[in-house]
Chains A and B, each alone.
Chain A
Amino acid sequence: MRRTLGRITARLGGAVFVLWAVASVTFGALRLIPGDPAQAVLGGPGSQASPEALAAVNAEYGFGRPVLVQYFAQLGRLATGDLGRSYALNVDVGPLVLSQLGGTLLLAVLSLALAWLLALALATWSTRGGKIASRVGSSLEIVAAALPHFWFATSLIVVFSIWLGVLPPISTGGIAGLVLPVLTLAVPLAGFLGQIMRESLLIALESPFVLSARARGETERGVRWIHALRHASVPAISLSGWAFGSLISGAVVVETIFARPGLGRTLLTAVTLRDVPVVIGVVMIVAVAYILMTLLTDIASHLVDPRLRLT
C-alpha cells in the first residue's frame, strides 16, 4: 500500500514538474520571438493604432514590467487555472481551448484506433502468409510511414471528393467529414506501428511460452491471437504515447486542409499572430493530455504483460 502510494506521489510530482517546465519553456520561447506583444492585442501586426491605445494596452497587460515579474505572474495565474485572455480573439483562453480540444481529441483517438487496427491486420496477415506476404506487408508499411500528411490529404481529396465524389472535401460536422482526416493521420502511423508490431510478433511467436502453448495442444489460431499478440502489443502500446504526440502535430496540417476546428489550427494561428496566452494555453492542455496518455499506456502495458513494472 505504501509502495503504491509512494509511486502515485512520484508520478504526480513528475507530472507537476513537467507542466511547470512546459509552461516555462513556452514562456521563454515566446519572449524570444521578435515583435511587440501590444501589436497582437491591438488587432494584429500592421495596425495603425494610436499612441494612447498602445499605452493603455501596455498598462493593462503589464508588458512594461520586468521579465521575471511577468513570468511569476504568469505562473501564478496558471497555478490557479487562469489561462488568461487571447490577445487576438478577445475571449478567455480556457473556454476557447476546451472548445477546440474536443475536435482534435476525436481526431487523435479515432486515428490511433484505426492505425492500430490497420497495423494489427497487416502484421497478422503478413506473418501468416509466408515470405511473399511478409515482403509485401513490409513494403506497404514502409511506404505508408513515409507519406507526408499534407500530400496524402490532398491526394485523398482528389481521389475521393473530386474524382469519385463519395466523400466531402471539408468537414461540415457529419461522420462523412471525419473519414478523410482520420485516414490521413492513421495510414502513416499504421505504417510505423505495423513495422514494430510485425517484428515483435515474429519474436513472440518463437518465444518459450508460445511453444509451450503449442505443446499443450492449443490451435494455431488460438496461439496467435491470444498469446503472441498480447505480448507483441507491448512495444506498440508504449509507443502509442509518443504516437499521440505526433498525431497532435499532424492535426495542425490536417485541420488546416480540411477546415476542421481544432487545437492544431488554433495553435498555428496563435503562433503566427504572436498570441501568447493562446499558445501557452494550447501547449498546457496538450501536455496534460500527453501525461494522461502516458499513464494510460503504462496501465495498459501492465495489464497486457504483468511482467512489466509500473515505472
Chain B
Amino acid sequence: MQAELLTGADHSGRPRHPGLVDGAAGLLALFLLVAAIAPQFLAPGDPLAIHPLAAFQPPNLTHGFGTDESGRDIYTRVVHGTRYSLVIGFAATAIGLGLGVILGTLAGTLGRVVDFTVNRFLEVLFAFPGLLLALLFIVIFGPGVATATIAVGLSTAPGYARIIRAQLITVRSAAFVEAATVLGRTRWQILLRHILPNTLAPLFVLGTLGIGQAIVWAATLSYLGLGAAPPAAEWGAMLSAGRTYITSAWWMSFFPGLFIVLTAVTATVLGRSIDRRMRHL
C-alpha cells in the first residue's frame, strides 16, 4: 500500500499523454545527463580556474550565475559538478535499494523466524538517526566522496527494506498468486515470475525519489565538512561554502541549491511518468 502511494498510481484507468511538466522534466534530465557525461559541451571553461580579482561578481552577461570567492565561474562549476552529485545520488540509492531488496526479500519470503529477526534488525537501524549513522561511518573511515556515498546508502537502506517487505507480503497474498499455486506452479516459479516482478515494479519510482534525497543528504554531509575535498565543484560543497557569504553574495548558494532541488524534482517526475507508462503497457 505504501509503495503504491509513493508511486502515485493513476486512478482514472486511462493512459496519460506526456504533459508539459513531463516534457520539461525530460529536457532537464537530458541537460543533466549531458552535464554529467560531457560537461565541456555545456560549459567549456575550467571549473577550477581561479581569478582572484574577479571574485564575488553578481550574475551578469559574462558570468551567468556570477562568480564565487575565488573568481571561479559558478555556472561552469555547477555544470561540472553534476557528475559528482548524480554519481552520489545513483550510487547511494543503488546501495540503499540493493540492501533494502535483500533484507526485505529475506524478511518477506523465508518464514516467520527470519522475518522476525530481520524486522528487529531493521528496527535497530531505524532507531539510529540516519545522520548519526553517516557521521560515525565517515569519522571511522575518513571523509570523501566514496565514504559519503556508502554512508548515505546505508542510512536509506532500512527505509527501502521496510517498504519492500510490506509490498512482498501484500503481493504474496494476492489472488493471482493463489491462482498460480492452485495451478501447480512451483514455489520458485511463483517467486520469480509473479511475486518479484510485482514487488520490484514500484522500486523504480522509489529509487528516483531516493536519488533526490541522496543528493540532499550528501549536501548536508558536505555542510558538516565531511564531503568531497576541495577544490571539487560538488554542489553540496558549493552550497556550504556559499552559505558563509549568503548576505553579501546570495548567488553562490542559490544556484547550486536550485540545481539540487531541480534534480530531485526531475527524478521524481520522470520516475512517476515512466512508471505510469509501464503500467499501461
Contacts and interface: CB of A to CB of B under 8 A. Distances in A.
A–B contact via C-beta, under 8 angstroms: yes
Interface of A: 14, 17-18, 21-22, 25-26, 29-30, 32-34, 135, 138-139, 142-143, 145-151, 154-155, 158, 162, 195-196, 199-200, 202-203, 206, 235, 238-239, 241-242, 245-246, 248-249, 252-253, 267-268, 271, 283, 286-287, 290-291, 294
B62 to A, nearest CB: 26
Contacts of B132: 249, 267, 271, 283, 286
- Greatest chain A CB density within 10 A among B5, B239, B246, B257 is at B5
Interface stretch (B29-37, B38-46, B93-101, B259-267): B259-267
Interface string B217-252: 001100110000000000010011001001100100
B5 A245 contact: no
Nearest to B258: A151
Given A148-B216, A150-B223, A150-B240, 7 more contacts: A33-B140, A146-B265, A148-B257, A151-B239, A151-B257, A245-B126, A271-B139
A249 B127 CA distance: 11
A195 B268 CA distance: 11
B174 interface: no
Contacts of A149: 220
Contact of A271 (B1, B135, B257): B135
A199 B5 contact: yes
B6 A195 contact: yes
B264 A245 contact: no
Nearest to B243: A154
B279 interface: no
- 7 cross-chain pairs, A with B, having the tightest CB-CB distances, nearest first: A146-B264, A249-B131, A287-B127, A199-B5, A21-B124, A248-B129, A249-B129
- Chain B residues touching A, majority SS: helix
Query: Interface size for chain B: under 10, 10 to 19, 20 to 34, or 35 or more residues?
Result: 35 or more
13 contacts: A14-B123, A21-B121, A148-B216, A148-B220, A158-B250, A199-B8, A200-B1, A203-B4, A235-B1, A245-B128, A249-B129, A252-B129, A287-B127
A63 to B, nearest CB: 18
- Which of B129, B131, B219, B264 has the largest count of A CB atoms less than 10 A from its CB? B129
B130 A249 contact: yes
Interface of B: 1-2, 4-6, 8-9, 11, 21, 120-121, 123-124, 126-132, 135-136, 139-140, 159, 162, 212-213, 216, 219-220, 223-224, 236, 239-240, 243, 246-247, 250, 253, 257, 260-261, 264-265, 268-269
Contacts of B131: 248-249, 252
B2 A143 contact: no
Given A203-B11, A249-B132, A14 B246 contact: no
Contacts of B159: 242
Nearest to A203: B11
Contacts of A206: 11
Contacts of B2: 196, 235, 238-239
B11 A147 contact: no
A146 B216 contact: yes
Nearest to B257: A151
Contacts of B5: 195-196, 199-200, 203, 235
